[in-house]
Amino acid sequence: MFIKVLYIINEVFVITCFVFLSVTKTKTNAPVTCTDAYIITVCVHVTPPLTKKAPE
């Protein structure tokens, strides 16, 4: 149960990250930079390994 909750939090966090970046880029018409790629990578990989496995 706890792992499932962690997994959901992880998903929400990653989605929020992408949405935030997309909205920011769209509003400012800024090109995607290396920094953005780095932020996305951090967003995807910052979570503990437990959350990587999808709950059955």
| Extents of the domains making up the chain | 2-46
What is the pLDDT at residue 10?
Answer: 75
Phi, psi (rounded to 5 degrees) for 50: -55, -40
43, pLDDT greater than 50: yes
Q: How confident is the model at residue 39 (pLDDT cuts 50, 70, 90)?
A: confident
46, pLDDT greater than 70: no
Q: How far apart are CA 33 and CA 40, in angstroms?
A: 11
Q: How confident is the model at residue 56 (pLDDT cuts 50, 70, 90)?
A: very low
Model confidence pLDDT, tens digit, residues 2-38: 777 777 777 787 778 778 877 777 777 767 677 777 7
